[in-house]
Amino acid sequence: MICVVTGVAGFIGSHLAEKLLDVGHTVRGVDKFLGNYPRRFKEWNLAQVRRPGLEFIEEDLVGIDLPALLDGVTYVFHQAAQPGVRSSWGEEFGEYTHNNILATQRLLEASKKSKIKKFVYASSSSVYGDTQDLPMRETGMTRPVSPYGVSKLSAEQLCYLYWKEFGVPTVSLRYFTVYGPRQRPDMFFHIFMRAHRRGQAIPIYDDGKQSRDFTFCADIVDGNIAAAEYPGAGEVFNLGGGSRTTVEEVVRMVEEISGKKAQLNMLARQQGDVRHTAAALDQARNKLGFKPRVKLYDGLAQEWAWMQHIGD
């Protein structure tokens, strides 16, 4: 089968493409190399999947020939997006509307006339906002507290609209704080581990007691493949790690893994940051057969080992 993976040079996109290639699929990967972090990291990600079976296209989804991209394709995995909560305010929001909303709408519009079996969209737990209603359920209120979250929810709603009105077989997956090897350098674990390896102070926003449902990248990949094979459509599923952990606890785990004490630089909470996240996984378990396999400590150990080889 031919699978389209957008954002193929990214953190999750490269892992997903690698798994699809491993099981015998052909991957048509698209990436525009957004300038949100150094290109060398994305080139390194892409190097892990450059092999027979990969057709790579460096292009903006808004301007690409989408009917040609989707020709003969069975599954679309739409991972491409402008990421980041803290950078989504002000004038930067134009990048989020272009890369997250408009690009998704163009891809959905082209999918109307294609023969794809499933359009899997990478959404985010940011759509829930700073709710106290935990665990976060797919049927719960969505009230984002960042422009990034608004853009992800808007694209998610477009997926539902194109399924409802045109029969495009969409499934949206709300990711909860994904981590692991190849994590973006602007994400907390990467920043934390890079500073810790150098013996520098680690920036901790808020008081460290904020918690997240951390999800290992391989579990996210499994959830994507399960969603593609799922017979239903027009639905939304949480993909989480299955347990909620504070930043303080993560720091202690990395200290144990690395064998050295961390230096902390406590900073004020940032706009758009939520206090807690926790994924209700009943729907994903019951309908997708999703079950996170990688425990947080083990996943952190894998990311720490990877960090030793990427340089500064």
Tens-binned pLDDT, residue by residue, of the chain (312 aa):
999 999 999 999 999 999 999 999 999 999 999 988 899 999 999 999 999 999 999 999 999 999 999 999 999 999 999 998 888 888 889 999 999 999 999 999 999 999 999 999 999 999 999 999 999 999 999 999 999 999 999 999 999 999 999 999 999 999 999 999 999 999 999 999 999 999 999 999 999 999 999 999 999 999 999 999 999 999 999 999 998 999 999 999 999 999 999 999 988 888 878 999 999 999 999 999 999 999 999 999 999 999 998 866
What gap in Å lies between CA 124 and CA 306, rounded to an integer? 25
Give all strands of the β-sheet with 235-239 in edge-to-edge order: 54-58, 26-31, 2-6, 75-78, 118-124, 170-175, 235-239
The pTM (predicted TM-score) of the whole model is 0.96
Task: Say what the pLDDT of residue 129 is.
Answer: 95
Task: Say what the pLDDT of residue 114 is.
Answer: 97
Enumerate the β-bridge partners of residue 238: 174
Provide CATH code, domain 2-179+215-241+273-293.
Answer: 3.40.50.720
Domain extents for the chain?
2-179+215-241+273-293
Task: Say what the pLDDT of residue 92 is.
Answer: 87
Task: Say what the pLDDT of residue 10 is.
Answer: 97
Task: Say what the pLDDT of residue 91 is.
Answer: 84
| 205 given a catalytic annotation | no
Task: Say what the pLDDT of residue 243 is.
Answer: 86
Task: Say what the pLDDT of residue 49 is.
Answer: 97
Q: What's the token pair of residue 286? A: 């019951």
What gap in Å lies between CA 122 and CA 279, rounded to an integer? 15
Residue bearing tokens 């959404």? 123
DSSP annotation of 136: B
* Active-site residue, selected from the candidate residues 75, 96, 148, 179: 148
